[in-house]
Chains A and B, each alone.
Chain A
Amino acid sequence: MEKYLYIALFAPLASSLFVALFATRPKMLFTGVVASILIAISMISSFILLMDVNTYGALHVNMMDWIVAGNLYIPFGFVVDEVSVIMMVTVTLVSTVVHIYSIGYMDHDKSFNRFFSYLSAFVFSMMILVMSDNFVGLFIGWEGVGLCSWLLIGFWYHKHSASWAANEAFIMNRIADLGMLMGLFLIYWNVGSLQYEEVFAALKDLDSVIVATIGMFLFIGAMGKSAQFPLHTWLADAMEGPTPVSALIHAATMVTAGVYLVIRCGELYSMIPDVGFAIASLGAFVALFAASMALVNNDLKRIIAYSTLSQLGYMFVAAGLGAYWIALFHLMTHAFFKSLLFLGAGNVMHAMHDELNIKKMGGLYGSMKATAILMSVASVALAGIYPLAGFFSKDKILEVAFNEGAYFLWFALFIGAGLTAFYSFRLVMLVFFGEKEYIKHGFHPHEAQPFVIYALLPLGLLAVIAGWFEHQFEGFTTRLLARYEIHISHGIEIILIGATLCIAVGGIAFAIYKYQRGGFSKTWEEGFFYKLLSNQYYIPKVYELYIMRPFTILSQFVWQKIDMKVVDFTVDSIARTIYKTGEKSRKMQSGNLSDMLRWMVVGIVVLLVLALFYRPMA
């Protein structure tokens, strides 16, 4: 059984390294095929492991000792338990689909090979993240996905906006990682080990203030990865990368790493429910905040990015309130329909020659039936309509909020569900139905190649049926995670579900109604709220003015005054002193014997003085 673990873990690495050999060559089709096959192998191993864990229970493997220094023992250890195997299956499944999709999407790109190398490297880092059995391995995977995300967002590096976005993503992640490192240090200092089992066992004996601090610091790390407010601006800008990247990283895997961290440390967060409530509140705020920004945006991928942000907020609400398996469930279903949405958007972009403004599209249903159907299915799943996947997971979260008595949170999520339904269908209507604006701009769209559509079909299927496995999922994951009891009576539960359904359906109906008539009038765009939302509440501007500019000035100052004037000066003066001394001493060698005899006598005198006043071992 361990061999499946190693296969699942190292197949992506092998793929990445193999393709990296061809990274500088022009496009070679077989690199994409080989990469997809290897990732598919990893997926099959993950499924086998899923069945094994179901039958036998968790699997622990200690591959190799890494750091053994005094009391610090950090091995390269891996654990495949219920949580990590769910993550593994999700990650590898979406990765396989994305790899196959990319063969079609990156068809005309001259860095075709490099893309697959980076993509596989990302999958490998993510696997390390979810499979590791200690915090340090998690951190290695954490940094690895951050790095691969930077490489992939800035894939078209000669575009200035792309490399800027990549830097922004990486730097914001780094800022958050500082918080995570503090958490790790605190854990090690108080517990003496970084293995999950030992840490969670020792937590009960710790002071609750320390546990709360650890929880806060770890959450700061999660905030960066999962783009919670205020470290959220990078996610929207990360759409500069190729669409498969957005689908894989910024919908299904990397941004869920933060949620995974909170889920994994569920035992920790159960001890500090106040911190959990703060996390949930922040999650609810982000859910509403991002949904509001998606309402007015005209960029195809950004709408979906804000949607991801919003759904991450939902996941954090669940995790913060202690319903960890529900958060994991929503994570899984969300991965499926969100990546489907992104990949469908990629098809649309490809057809429209990388045009992103949805106002310039419309009526594409005629030319792209398959994509339209898939995206509509995904949007319905996102909106949370029975019996698709989103309904089960999202409703469960709303029930959790209600159960905890956090009615304000429930209300925020409730409104958020309505907004989600609205903007998803706004997107679908503006892109696929309505007037054919694209004719005015001279586009000739065509459907994507057949194998791409076939690759998307599994995701579409899963978006439909994943929710039906809720009970098996609950039984499976609660072997490890905490059970969550919902105490509201059945009647109120039905009312809640009904209310949520109503608002979702209402949102969809409103969107269809409005956009069939040609959308909102232009006067809305002059309004204050519209401007606020479309400029993302002016937050990027605030960051630029109050953080980036002062920092740039400080860096310039340090560079010119301190680095060049002090450090360089010191080093140069040492060199200059030695040089000048050498030049002066050169004059001793005048070639004149009389001079040399004098120097000899000087030497004699020096030696005599030394002999007289410094007698070693006298």
Chain B
Amino acid sequence: MITLTHYLILTGLLFAIGLVGVMRRTNLLMLFFSTEILLNAVNIGFVAVSKYYGDFTGQMFAFFIIAVAASEVAVGLGLLILWYKRNGSVDLNSLQMMKG
């Protein structure tokens, strides 16, 4: 029997993988991939809760998250391309201008 707990553990694991990617990657594009992973993990969680409690709010939320992710990717990639044209590198360490 697959209970809600299974899904939630899965969500947690996927989220952890996403966090590892966020902290580990220094290539900006790879960083975006990791962000996608985070969003998808959360989506699974929402839908699972929605299914097991018969509440449609979870699915709506997941829907909107997909929409937001799409627009975020569009804008993000645009900025990334601009940066690449200006600096010739997509490495995170080259982005270090605001030093405290």
Contact = CB atoms under 8 A, between A and B. Distances in A.
Interface of A: 586-594, 597-598, 601
Contact of A594 (B19, B23, B97, B99): B23
Contact of B99 (A590, A597, A598): A590
Given A589-B99, A591-B97, A598-B23, 20 more contacts: A586-B100, A587-B100, A588-B100, A589-B98, A590-B96, A590-B99, A590-B100, A591-B96, A591-B98, A591-B100, A592-B92, A592-B95, A593-B92, A593-B95, A593-B96, A594-B23, A594-B93, A597-B22, A597-B23, A601-B22
Closest 4 A/B residue pairs (Cβ): A589-B100, A591-B99, A591-B96, A591-B98
A585 to B, nearest CB: 9
Contacts of B92: 592-594
Contacts of A588: 100
B57 interface: no
Contacts of A597: 22-23
A588 B100 CA distance: 8
B19 A601 contact: yes
Contacts of B99: 589-591
Nearest to B100: A589
A592 B98 CA distance: 8
Contacts of B23: 594, 597-598, 601
B26 interface: yes
9 contacts: A589-B98, A589-B99, A590-B96, A590-B99, A591-B99, A593-B96, A597-B22, A598-B23, A601-B23
Contacts of B19: 601
Contact of B96 (A586, A587, A592, A598): A592
Nearest to B23: A598
A602 to B, nearest CB: 10
Chain A interface, DSSP helix/strand/loop, else mixed: helix
A588 B97 CA distance: 14
Nearest to B28: A593
A586 B22 CA distance: 23
Interface string B13-29: 00000010011011000
Interface of B: 19, 22-23, 25-26, 92-93, 95-100
A591 B95 CA distance: 8
Contacts of A587: 100
A593 B80 CA distance: 14
A594 B94 CA distance: 11
B77 to A, nearest CB: 17
By CB atoms of chain B within 10 A, which of A588, A593, A598 has the most?
A: A593
A586 B100 CA distance: 6
Contact of B93 (A589, A592, A598, A601): A592
A377 B76 CA distance: 111
Nearest to A589: B100
B50 to A, nearest CB: 22
A490 to B, nearest CB: 104
A611 to B, nearest CB: 15
Contacts of A594: 23, 25-26, 92-93
A160 B38 CA distance: 83
A604 to B, nearest CB: 8
A313 to B, nearest CB: 79
Contacts of A590: 96, 99-100
A597 B95 CA distance: 13
Nearest to B22: A597
A272 to B, nearest CB: 78
Nearest to B20: A601
A447 to B, nearest CB: 86
Contacts of B98: 589, 591
A593 B91 CA distance: 10
Nearest to B26: A594
Contacts of B93: 592, 594
Contacts of B97: 591
B51 to A, nearest CB: 25
A400 to B, nearest CB: 89
A587 B99 CA distance: 9
Contacts of A589: 98-100
A597 B38 CA distance: 14
Nearest to A592: B96
Nearest to B93: A592
B82 to A, nearest CB: 16
A594 B95 CA distance: 10
A596 to B, nearest CB: 9
Nearest to A604: B19
Contacts of B95: 592-593
Nearest to B98: A591
Contacts of B100: 586-591
A592 B92 CA distance: 7
A124 to B, nearest CB: 64
A597 B22 CA distance: 7
A594 B93 CA distance: 8
Contacts of A592: 92-93, 95-96
